[in-house]
Structures are given as structure tokens and as C-alpha cells.
Amino acid sequence: MNRSAQIQRLIGLGPGWEGRPGWFEQHPAALQRSLCQAESAETTNAEPAPAVIAPIQAAPAPASTPPQPAPSPAEAATPAPTPVAAPAAVPAMVADTAAPLLEWDALERAVRDCRDCRLCQTRTQTVFGRGNKQARWLLIGEAPGEQEDKQGLPFVGRAGQLLDNMLSATGLDRDQDVYIANVLKCRPPGNRNPSGDEIASCQNYLIQQIRHIQPTLILALGRFAAQTLLQTEKSIGQLRGKLHSYQDIPLIVSYHPAYLLRNQPDKHKAWQDLVFARNTFARLQDRS
Ligand code: URA
């Protein structure tokens, strides 16, 4: 059994994870091919194949026009979104580095007690985050779903199980090597898209989490997290496979695990993203 098949069996994802042969090889020819693919994809504006090792260079600065959040893959299948008066734009996730940084415990308490937006009326509880706050990887999802709202932890439902499997296939321990947080700390009813004013109310919590953790690498999971952090309207297809940055922290974009549950053929792309992230992380570590 080749390495790809072994990993596929290990993570129990079935043939949807069948990658092209050679994903795991670090042969110079494979690396060169990936670099060429990434370059040509960028110039043709097609969906890029991620470079296995990309230059450590941030993507251009975010557009100044505030983006409109397109319906996220994670929520595309939500049957009947609850209508809310959503402002047109996603507010800028710009860290106010002069703002006082709360102690971690105080930050957790502030989130737990938060009543800054309407979501406090419908949540069961807030979802602050999980993992190691000294971790070098920070994964950022969208918002708690039903299970997360019940348990008070991010990514504990089916999407979370897939994420755990993907992390362990990448050699990352979900409790030790990563911290996982969401853009929103409360569940939007019916898993509808967060609205701009909800993000504006919540963003200081995520900004403070990022300032505390100071990760080596951020992995933005899904279009919603990516668009919010990068202040762009670009699609996941346009954003993945490139190294971006948020507040000078390298950032890589990948699909949301809930989307992958419904779109098995894209799992191999998510695996490419993780290989890209893993190799980028190794390079960043070497430089520090
Ligand atoms: N989807 C997310 O984006 N975050 C969670 O915590 C769970 C599902």
C-alpha cells in the first residue's frame, strides 16, 4: 500500500481522499512542478494548484473596499436561514495594537459574559476556543454550529471530526500543536451567515486571541474566515495555494471542513493545502 493509501486509511476518509500519486514525496522535480503550476495558475487567474514549497512572501495588501461575505460553504446547505438586518460590509479585522490586551482569563470571562450583539439571546453558551494557547498554529473557523453551541467547544461536530483527522494526518496533535478559534464566539441561529455587525461586535475577541497566541501560521478555514481576515471578496479557489498575511502573521486559506463533508472531490485540494501549510510552517520555523 502506498503512503497516500495508508494515510487515507488512517484518517478513515475513504476514496474521497485519494490524491494523485506523489503528493507526499519531496522530490525536487515534484516541488518544481508545483511551483510552476502555482505560477501559471496565478497568471491565468485559474484556481491555483498550491505550491508544495512557496516563497515566504505575503500576498498583496488587502483591498481597501470592504468585502461582502458570500454564503459560506459551511452554511450553503442550511435550509432556512433566520432573516437578520445585515449590514452590507464585513468590518475590517484590523488589530488595534494600542488597545490594552486583556489577560487570557479575563478575555475568556469577557467572551462568556458578552451581550454585545443579538446572538447572546439565542446562544446556549459562548465558544471561546480550544487547544494549546502556546501553539504555533492557529486555525480560524467561522462560527459555532449546533454541537459547538451545546458543548461550548469549537469543531466538535462532524466537521470537527474531519478536521481532527486531517490534522492528525498532517502530523499535528489537535490539543498540543494547534489552537482553534472562530470569527464568531456565538452560534448564529440556524447556522446562518454571521452579519457584519455581529463580526464587528466580536472581532476584538479574535484580535486579542491572535495577539496572545502570536502564532507562526494562521490557517483560515472557509471563505468566511478568509474573507474576514484578509478583507477581500475573493473566493477560496482564488485565495488558496498562496501565502497571505494578517497583521504580518503568515496566513494560508483552505476549505471549511463542513464544505468538504459535502464535496468529497475537493478533499484532495484540502490535503494539498495542508501539505502547503506544513511545508510553509517548516520553512518559517527554520527562519526563526
Ligand atoms: N464550523 C465552524 O466554523 N466552527 C465551528 O466551531 C464549528 C463548525
**Which pLDDT tens digit goes with each residue over 74-98?**
433 333 333 333 333 555 576 666 7
pLDDT value at position 69? 40
Residues spanned by the domain of 155 = 104-287
Distance (Å) of CA 198 to CA 60, 114, 143, 277: 27, 12, 11, 29
Q: Among 228, 226, 144, which Cα is nearest to 185's? A: 144
pLDDT value at position 93? 73
pLDDT value at position 288? 76
Residue 132 sits in the same domain as residue 247: yes
Residue 180 sits in the same domain as residue 54: no
Choose between 193 and 58: higher pLDDT.
193
CA of 256 to the centre of ligand 1 (A): 8
Choose between 107 and 64: higher pLDDT.
107
Does residue 75's CB lie within 6 angstroms of at least one atom of ligand 1?
no
Does residue 164's CB lie within 6 angstroms of at least one atom of ligand 1?
no
Residue 135 sits in the same domain as residue 194: yes
CA of 86 to the centre of ligand 1 (A): 20
Question: Average of pLDDT values for 42-54?
Answer: 32
In a domain, 43, yes or no: yes
**With contact defined as beta carbons under 8 Å apart, do 142 and 182 qualify?**
yes
Does residue 155's CB lie within 6 angstroms of at least one atom of ligand 1?
yes
Does residue 143's CB lie within 6 angstroms of at least one atom of ligand 1?
yes
Residue 73 sits in the same domain as residue 109: no
Choose between 161 and 288: higher pLDDT.
161
Choose between 278 and 196: higher pLDDT.
278
Residue 127 sits in the same domain as residue 266: yes
Choose between 199 and 4: higher pLDDT.
199
In a domain, 136, yes or no: yes
Residue 116 sits in the same domain as residue 45: no
Question: Average of pLDDT values for 210-227?
Answer: 96
pLDDT value at position 92? 58
> Residue 170 pLDDT more than 70?
yes
Ligand 1 atom at shortest distance from the alpha carbon of 222: 3
Instruction: Tell me how many domains the chain contains.
Output: 2
Residue 170 sits in the same domain as residue 275: yes
Q: Which of 62, 77, 92 is the last residue of a domain?
A: 77
CA of 103 to the centre of ligand 1 (A): 25
The DSSP result for 20-35, as a single string, is PTTTT---HHHHHHHH
In a domain, 89, yes or no: no
- The CATH number of whichever domain residue 218 belongs to comes to 3.40.470.10
Residue 185 sits in the same domain as residue 265: yes
> Residue 108 pLDDT more than 90?
yes
pLDDT value at position 90? 55
Q: Please give the model's pTM, rounded to 2 decimal places.
A: 0.74
Residue 45 sits in the same domain as residue 183: no
